[in-house]
Amino acid sequence: MEGQFLSFEDLSVIITAVIIGTLARVWVLKEDYRQYPSYPNGYLIHVITGFVAAALGAVAIPALISKNFVAVTFLTLALQQFRDVRKMEKESLSDLENTEYTYRGTAYIDGIAKTFESRNYIAFITAFFVSLTTTIMPLNLWINIIAGILVGVAVVFFLKNFTKGKSIGDIAQVKEGKIEVKDSSLFVDGIYVSNLLGTDNAKKLFKEEGMAVVIHPNENHYRINLDNFGQRQAALFEATRALGNKRYHFTRKDYEQGRVVICLVPIKQDIDALIEVVKKCPLLESSKKSHSVMKTNLKGE
């Protein structure tokens, strides 16, 4: 009967690892406000799945040490669980597509879902390393636990930086665009955008309240990312979500110089916020094809 219960040491290792792993998930949940589930239920769901991921990582080492090799196979459950998190997030965001001002687009949804999946791996790996450090350290239990926590924090820092993506602001300049309405056509900085302004109301609305930004790529090859339809859709989505959308929203690319126009009639008139939100729009993983893009200096000049 005695062998069926966990020792105090094992229990301490597991509990510490689970707590640190879950806290790691909570931390990265808050880290990126665009992909942060702003609804309380979403927040709870991701904390709980993070807790489960941390628990799986925490018990792996004690299971191995007790020669319970069969029990380690439950790690496959972890993989399945993380894939389910991605699937759940993808389905959830896809269901919301028709209720937003503009579409997020499948490319952006895929990127967000992958981010959620990878953040569960962060909880899992952190808990695993905390558990490993605490177990193999030959010192007093409490010192081992402190060492495990320190290693856990270091692992989270490393993984957070490793998984941190780039944004449009890293590869391009985002500037305010000058709106012109000629007949029923809309031009931004001389770039034709749309001719959907056929009524007097539409022209008046855009002249008085329209806002536009133009994205100028720093290098010619960054156009590969910026011209991507999913990428432009994501930037437009972030713009309309940040400022609201009274009427009309367009994106247009300029073939000659590679400039990209984002324009809309927002509810909140704040051009600085529009520039900022477009700059901070994440570069989609699906649009990254070039190695030279991957080597971009993240810190800027």
Partner 1 sequence: MGRESTMKPDYRILAYITREKERVLTSNCLTLFADSEESCKEMTVDIAKAMKADVVQLTNGDYMILRV
Chain residues that interact with partner 1, rule: CB under 8 A: 102, 183-184, 193-202, 229, 233, 236, 249-253
Q: Please identify, using beta-carbon distances, which residue of 8 and 255 lies nearer to partner 1.
A: 255
Q: Please identify, using beta-carbon distances, which residue of 155 and 243 lies nearer to partner 1.
A: 243
Kindly state the smallest distance separating residue 199's Cβ from partner 1, in Å.
Answer: 5
Strands ordered across the beta sheet of 260-265: 172-176, 211-217, 260-265, 247-253
Contact indicator for 254, 140 with CB cutoff of 8 Å: no
Residues β-bridged to residue 212: 263
Q: Please identify, using beta-carbon distances, which residue of 80 and 199 lies nearer to partner 1.
A: 199
Kindly state the smallest distance separating residue 258's Cβ from partner 1, in Å.
Answer: 15
Q: Please identify, using beta-carbon distances, which residue of 71 and 181 lies nearer to partner 1.
A: 181
Kindly state the smallest distance separating residue 134's Cβ from partner 1, in Å.
Answer: 53
Q: Please identify, using beta-carbon distances, which residue of 183 and 301 lies nearer to partner 1.
A: 183
Kindly state the smallest distance separating residue 300's Cβ from partner 1, in Å.
Answer: 30
Using CA atoms, how far apart are residues 125 and 121, in angstroms rounded to an integer? 6
**Buried (b) or exposed (e) across 232-257, using 16+ Cβ within 10 A?**
bbbbbbbbbebbebbebbbbbbbeee
Using CA atoms, how far apart are residues 126 and 152, in angstroms rounded to an integer? 5
Query: Burial level of 286, CB count in 10 A (0-12/13-18/19+)?
Result: middle
Using CA atoms, how far apart are residues 84 and 156, in angstroms rounded to an integer? 22
97: three-class secondary structure by DSSP: helix
Kindly state the smallest distance separating residue 39's Cβ from partner 1, in Å.
Answer: 27
What residues contact 14, with CB distance under 8 A and at least 6 apart?
Answer: 6, 55, 58, 59, 62, 131
Q: Please identify, using beta-carbon distances, which residue of 121 and 250 lies nearer to partner 1.
A: 250
What residues contact 18, with CB distance under 8 A and at least 6 apart?
Answer: 51, 54, 55, 58, 127
Tokens of residue 44, six digits: 């709870």
Kindly state the smallest distance separating residue 234's Cβ from partner 1, in Å.
Answer: 12
Kindly state the smallest distance separating residue 229's Cβ from partner 1, in Å.
Answer: 6
Q: Please identify, using beta-carbon distances, which residue of 159 and 202 lies nearer to partner 1.
A: 202
Pairing outcome for strands 172-176 and 211-217: antiparallel
